Amino acid sequence: MATTNVTIDLASDITDSALAVSNTTQLNTAGTTTGVNTMTSVTKVLSSTAQADLIPTSTVSTTHAYVYINNPSDDETKYFKITIGAHNGAEVEELGRLYAGDFMFFPWDVDDDITCIPSSSDDMTIEYMVFS
């Protein structure tokens, strides 16, 4: 059985009291204690400010997955707007903007495509992994 663990560590000194939080979880298939058994890892270079399908639902064979998206840029002015939902005139929900060095990790119900909009028409690299 495959085992995939995710750990997040948060530490901050922006308040009077130091904050330190750590949490680890095992990624399982939906509604089970069976570990995920598929991982897809992709690096894309986008050269347009047009909205692009980043992770179409057709590329995932399950109804539940976990997604990691990273902006590896070191140019703080370059970001990706990450959205979920159809993009040809239909509703789109913005999940957030990934600036240089930012990443996101979230569960995905695989109902709608994950899309992105680069902030620049210069070549911009985005990385993602899907665990299912």
Question: Is residue 111 a part of any domain in this protein?
Answer: yes
> Is position 64 within any domain?
yes
Number of structural domains the chain divides into: 1
- The mean of the pLDDT values for the chain is 91
Report yes or no on 78 lying in a domain: yes
Provide the domain limits for residue 74: 38-131
Concatenated DSSP letters for 19-60? EEEEEEEE-B-TTSSSBP--EEEEEEEE-SSS-EEEE-GGG-
Q: pLDDT digit string (tens) for 7-20?
A: 999 999 998 888 99
Kindly indicate the confidence band of residue 61, based on its pLDDT and cuts at 50, 70 and 90.
Answer: confident
Q: Would you say residue 15 lies in a domain? A: no
Instruction: Write the CB contacts of 14 (distance below 8 Å, at least 6 apart in sequence).
Output: none
Q: Is residue 45 part of a domain?
A: yes
| Residue 64: Cβ within 10 Å count | 16
Domain CATH number, residue 88: 2.60.120.10
pLDDT above 70: residue 107:
yes
